[in-house]
Amino acid sequence: MAPKEVLTSNDEMLGQVLSVLKEEDVPYTALFTALQPSHVRLCPIVPHGQPHSPARILLWARNLSVTYRGQLQDLSSRTFGGGVELGGSSWEPEHARFVLRRSWFPVSGRSWAWLAEVWLSLVGGGPPVRFMGRGGAAPTPLGWRCGELGAPGPFLLPPDPPGPASDWSLRLLDVQVQAFNVSGGVFGGASDCAAFFTPGTWMGLVTGALLLGGLCYGGALLLHLRPMDRFDDPRGPPLPVPSME
Protein backbone atom coordinates (compact mmCIF):
# COMPACT_ATOMS: atom_id res chain seq x y z
CA MET A 1 0.00 0.00 0.00
CA ALA A 2 1.09 3.52 -0.62
CA PRO A 3 2.12 5.61 2.40
CA LYS A 4 -0.89 7.88 1.88
CA GLU A 5 -3.30 4.95 1.98
CA VAL A 6 -1.63 3.56 5.13
CA LEU A 7 -1.98 6.89 6.91
CA THR A 8 -5.62 7.19 5.83
CA SER A 9 -6.40 3.69 7.12
CA ASN A 10 -4.70 4.35 10.44
CA ASP A 11 -6.56 7.62 10.79
CA GLU A 12 -9.91 5.88 10.25
CA MET A 13 -9.08 3.26 12.89
CA LEU A 14 -8.11 5.96 15.39
CA GLY A 15 -11.30 7.83 14.65
CA GLN A 16 -13.43 4.75 15.32
CA VAL A 17 -11.68 4.08 18.65
CA LEU A 18 -12.06 7.68 19.77
CA SER A 19 -15.76 7.69 18.79
CA VAL A 20 -16.43 4.63 20.94
CA LEU A 21 -14.62 6.17 23.92
CA LYS A 22 -16.57 9.41 23.59
CA GLU A 23 -19.93 7.64 23.32
CA GLU A 24 -19.29 5.64 26.49
CA ASP A 25 -17.84 8.69 28.25
CA VAL A 26 -14.59 6.90 29.10
CA PRO A 27 -11.66 9.15 30.05
CA TYR A 28 -8.57 8.46 27.99
CA THR A 29 -5.12 9.74 27.22
CA ALA A 30 -3.86 9.54 23.65
CA LEU A 31 -0.20 9.12 22.83
CA PHE A 32 0.91 9.36 19.20
CA THR A 33 4.36 8.19 18.11
CA ALA A 34 6.26 8.48 14.86
CA LEU A 35 9.73 7.86 13.51
CA GLN A 36 10.28 11.58 13.10
CA PRO A 37 8.22 14.76 13.47
CA SER A 38 6.42 16.06 10.43
CA HIS A 39 7.28 19.61 11.39
CA VAL A 40 10.51 20.79 12.98
CA ARG A 41 10.01 23.32 15.74
CA LEU A 42 12.55 26.09 15.81
CA CYS A 43 13.94 26.55 19.30
CA PRO A 44 14.30 30.12 20.51
CA ILE A 45 17.79 31.49 20.73
CA VAL A 46 19.26 30.84 24.16
CA PRO A 47 21.93 33.30 25.29
CA HIS A 48 25.31 31.75 25.89
CA GLY A 49 26.04 31.12 29.54
CA GLN A 50 23.80 31.49 32.54
CA PRO A 51 23.06 34.66 34.46
CA HIS A 52 24.97 34.94 37.68
CA SER A 53 23.03 34.17 40.82
CA PRO A 54 23.14 36.61 43.73
CA ALA A 55 26.55 36.81 45.34
CA ARG A 56 27.03 34.27 48.10
CA ILE A 57 30.79 34.58 48.61
CA LEU A 58 32.71 37.84 48.83
CA LEU A 59 36.51 37.81 48.63
CA TRP A 60 38.80 40.80 48.35
CA ALA A 61 42.49 41.42 48.93
CA ARG A 62 44.75 44.36 48.22
CA ASN A 63 47.40 42.04 46.85
CA LEU A 64 47.52 38.35 45.93
CA SER A 65 50.83 36.84 44.90
CA VAL A 66 52.08 33.31 44.34
CA THR A 67 55.68 32.15 44.49
CA TYR A 68 56.92 29.03 42.71
CA ARG A 69 60.54 28.02 43.29
CA GLY A 70 61.53 31.56 44.13
CA GLN A 71 59.70 33.20 41.19
CA LEU A 72 57.08 35.72 42.32
CA GLN A 73 53.89 36.22 40.30
CA ASP A 74 51.41 38.97 41.16
CA LEU A 75 47.85 37.75 40.48
CA SER A 76 45.94 40.72 41.92
CA SER A 77 44.66 42.08 38.58
CA ARG A 78 43.74 38.61 37.28
CA THR A 79 41.91 37.69 40.47
CA PHE A 80 40.03 40.89 41.26
CA GLY A 81 39.75 42.42 37.78
CA GLY A 82 36.60 42.91 35.73
CA GLY A 83 37.23 39.91 33.47
CA VAL A 84 37.37 37.28 36.18
CA GLU A 85 35.73 33.97 35.25
CA LEU A 86 33.33 32.83 37.99
CA GLY A 87 32.04 29.70 36.28
CA GLY A 88 33.89 27.39 38.65
CA SER A 89 32.68 29.06 41.82
CA SER A 90 30.42 27.08 44.10
CA TRP A 91 28.57 27.56 47.36
CA GLU A 92 27.00 25.14 49.80
CA PRO A 93 25.11 25.79 53.05
CA GLU A 94 27.87 24.26 55.17
CA HIS A 95 31.09 25.27 53.42
CA ALA A 96 32.35 27.54 50.68
CA ARG A 97 35.52 26.95 48.81
CA PHE A 98 38.03 29.30 49.81
CA VAL A 99 37.44 26.85 51.96
CA LEU A 100 35.49 28.15 54.97
CA ARG A 101 33.55 25.85 57.26
CA ARG A 102 31.02 26.60 59.94
CA SER A 103 29.77 24.72 62.97
CA TRP A 104 27.56 25.30 66.00
CA PHE A 105 29.32 25.66 69.34
CA PRO A 106 26.98 25.19 72.33
CA VAL A 107 29.32 26.98 74.75
CA SER A 108 29.17 30.31 72.90
CA GLY A 109 25.62 29.71 71.66
CA ARG A 110 26.38 30.67 68.06
CA SER A 111 27.78 29.33 64.81
CA TRP A 112 31.41 29.94 63.96
CA ALA A 113 33.16 29.85 60.60
CA TRP A 114 36.83 29.06 60.26
CA LEU A 115 39.35 28.93 57.44
CA ALA A 116 39.79 25.24 56.63
CA GLU A 117 41.70 25.15 53.34
CA VAL A 118 43.06 27.29 50.52
CA TRP A 119 43.40 25.62 47.11
CA LEU A 120 45.52 26.65 44.15
CA SER A 121 44.18 25.13 40.92
CA LEU A 122 47.00 24.68 38.42
CA VAL A 123 46.60 25.27 34.69
CA GLY A 124 47.12 22.07 32.73
CA GLY A 125 45.10 19.71 34.89
CA GLY A 126 47.66 19.08 37.59
CA PRO A 127 46.59 18.23 41.13
CA PRO A 128 45.63 21.32 43.17
CA VAL A 129 47.95 22.66 45.84
CA ARG A 130 46.20 22.59 49.21
CA PHE A 131 47.15 24.71 52.20
CA MET A 132 45.44 23.67 55.43
CA GLY A 133 44.03 26.41 57.66
CA ARG A 134 44.83 26.83 61.32
CA GLY A 135 43.24 29.16 63.85
CA GLY A 136 41.42 31.66 61.61
CA ALA A 137 37.84 31.80 62.97
CA ALA A 138 35.00 34.30 63.31
CA PRO A 139 31.27 34.20 64.23
CA THR A 140 29.16 33.21 61.22
CA PRO A 141 27.27 36.55 60.97
CA LEU A 142 30.61 38.31 60.55
CA GLY A 143 33.24 38.11 57.85
CA TRP A 144 36.89 37.28 58.39
CA ARG A 145 39.65 39.81 57.82
CA CYS A 146 43.41 39.56 58.06
CA GLY A 147 46.15 42.06 57.34
CA GLU A 148 48.43 39.36 55.93
CA LEU A 149 47.58 35.77 55.07
CA GLY A 150 50.47 33.66 53.88
CA ALA A 151 51.34 30.03 53.39
CA PRO A 152 53.33 28.93 55.21
CA GLY A 153 52.27 31.24 58.03
CA PRO A 154 50.39 31.40 61.33
CA PHE A 155 47.01 30.67 59.68
CA LEU A 156 48.03 28.38 56.79
CA LEU A 157 50.19 25.27 56.93
CA PRO A 158 52.45 24.17 54.06
CA PRO A 159 51.37 21.18 51.94
CA ASP A 160 51.82 17.84 53.67
CA PRO A 161 53.49 15.52 52.78
CA PRO A 162 56.37 17.44 51.18
CA GLY A 163 56.49 17.08 47.41
CA PRO A 164 56.09 19.17 44.26
CA ALA A 165 53.35 21.16 46.02
CA SER A 166 55.87 22.35 48.61
CA ASP A 167 57.50 24.52 45.92
CA TRP A 168 54.49 26.83 46.08
CA SER A 169 53.79 29.63 48.53
CA LEU A 170 50.86 32.03 48.79
CA ARG A 171 50.55 35.57 50.16
CA LEU A 172 47.51 37.84 50.47
CA LEU A 173 47.50 41.34 51.94
CA ASP A 174 44.44 42.94 53.56
CA VAL A 175 42.26 39.96 52.71
CA GLN A 176 38.59 39.86 53.69
CA VAL A 177 36.22 36.92 53.16
CA GLN A 178 32.49 36.68 53.80
CA ALA A 179 30.51 33.60 52.76
CA PHE A 180 27.64 32.86 55.14
CA ASN A 181 25.93 36.21 55.67
CA VAL A 182 26.14 38.11 52.38
CA SER A 183 23.44 40.75 52.00
CA GLY A 184 23.17 43.21 49.15
CA GLY A 185 26.49 42.18 47.63
CA VAL A 186 28.51 44.20 50.14
CA PHE A 187 30.72 43.25 53.05
CA GLY A 188 29.22 43.37 56.51
CA GLY A 189 31.02 43.47 59.83
CA ALA A 190 34.26 41.54 60.05
CA SER A 191 36.30 39.88 62.78
CA ASP A 192 40.00 40.63 62.56
CA CYS A 193 42.45 37.76 62.69
CA ALA A 194 44.85 39.66 64.93
CA ALA A 195 44.94 38.22 68.43
CA PHE A 196 43.96 40.37 71.40
CA PHE A 197 47.48 40.08 72.84
CA THR A 198 49.72 41.07 69.94
CA PRO A 199 53.55 40.92 70.25
CA GLY A 200 53.61 44.64 70.99
CA THR A 201 50.98 44.20 73.70
CA TRP A 202 52.96 41.37 75.30
CA MET A 203 56.15 43.48 75.22
CA GLY A 204 54.39 46.36 76.95
CA LEU A 205 52.85 44.07 79.56
CA VAL A 206 56.17 42.38 80.37
CA THR A 207 58.04 45.70 80.55
CA GLY A 208 55.36 47.19 82.79
CA ALA A 209 55.41 44.11 85.05
CA LEU A 210 59.21 44.35 85.44
CA LEU A 211 59.06 48.05 86.29
CA LEU A 212 56.22 47.47 88.74
CA GLY A 213 58.14 44.61 90.39
CA GLY A 214 61.25 46.78 90.77
CA LEU A 215 59.19 49.61 92.24
CA CYS A 216 57.53 47.27 94.74
CA TYR A 217 60.88 45.77 95.75
CA GLY A 218 62.43 49.21 96.26
CA GLY A 219 59.45 50.35 98.30
CA ALA A 220 59.69 47.25 100.50
CA LEU A 221 63.39 47.96 101.17
CA LEU A 222 62.63 51.55 102.13
CA LEU A 223 59.89 50.47 104.51
CA HIS A 224 62.20 48.03 106.30
CA LEU A 225 65.10 50.48 106.83
CA ARG A 226 65.88 51.18 110.53
CA PRO A 227 67.99 54.17 111.66
CA MET A 228 71.11 53.46 113.81
CA ASP A 229 70.98 54.64 117.45
CA ARG A 230 74.78 54.45 117.92
CA PHE A 231 77.51 55.82 115.71
CA ASP A 232 81.13 54.72 115.55
CA ASP A 233 83.86 57.37 115.20
CA PRO A 234 86.39 55.99 112.70
CA ARG A 235 89.20 58.11 114.25
CA GLY A 236 88.46 57.06 117.80
CA PRO A 237 88.54 53.75 119.62
CA PRO A 238 86.10 51.17 118.29
CA LEU A 239 82.70 51.14 119.89
CA PRO A 240 81.84 47.65 121.13
CA VAL A 241 78.26 46.60 120.50
CA PRO A 242 76.92 43.55 122.31
CA SER A 243 75.84 40.78 119.94
CA MET A 244 72.44 40.63 121.62
CA GLU A 245 71.55 44.16 120.49
- Cis, bond preceding 47 (omega within 30 deg of 0): no
The percent of the chain in helix, strand and coil, each rounded to the nearest 5, is 20, 25, 50
In this prediction, residues 198-206 reach a mean pLDDT of 80
DSSP for residue 53: P
Domain span at 119? 58-82+94-192
The pLDDT value given to residue 209: 93
Residue 227 CA: distances (Å) to CA of 129, 222, 223, 230, 241? 76, 11, 11, 9, 16
**Does residue 171 fall inside a structural domain?**
yes
Q: What separation, in Å, do the N-terminal and C-terminal C-alpha atoms of the chain show?
A: 147
Work out the burial of residue 143: count CB atoms within 10 Å of its CB; fewer than 13 is exposed, 13-18 middle, 19 or more buried. buried
Select the more confidently predicted residue: 173 or 79.
Answer: 173
Residue 118 CA: distances (Å) to CA of 1, 71, 79? 72, 20, 14
Produce one character per residue of 209-240: b if its CB has 16 or more CB atoms within 10 Å, e if not.
eeeeeeeeeeeeeeeeeeeeeeeeeeeeeeee
| DSSP H/E element including 3 | helix 3-23
CATH number of the domain bearing residue 117: 2.40.160
Confidence of residue 210 (pLDDT cuts 50, 70, 90): very high
Look at residue 222 and tell me whether its pLDDT is greater than 80: yes
Confidence of residue 146 (pLDDT cuts 50, 70, 90): confident
**Does residue 243 fall inside a structural domain?**
no
pLDDT tens per residue, range 69-124: 778 878 777 677 655 555 555 655 544 455 555 666 665 566 777 677 777 776 66
**Does residue 208 fall inside a structural domain?**
no
**Does residue 217 fall inside a structural domain?**
no
**Does residue 202 fall inside a structural domain?**
no
**Does residue 77 fall inside a structural domain?**
yes
The pLDDT value given to residue 95: 47
Number of domains in the chain: 1
**Does residue 242 fall inside a structural domain?**
no
Look at residue 148 and tell me whether its pLDDT is greater than 70: yes
SS (H, E, C) 195-209: CCCCHHHHHHHHHHH
Select the more confidently predicted residue: 10 or 36.
Answer: 10
**Does residue 46 fall inside a structural domain?**
no
Confidence of residue 217 (pLDDT cuts 50, 70, 90): very high
Mean pLDDT, the chain, integer: 70
| DSSP H/E element including 76 | helix 76-80
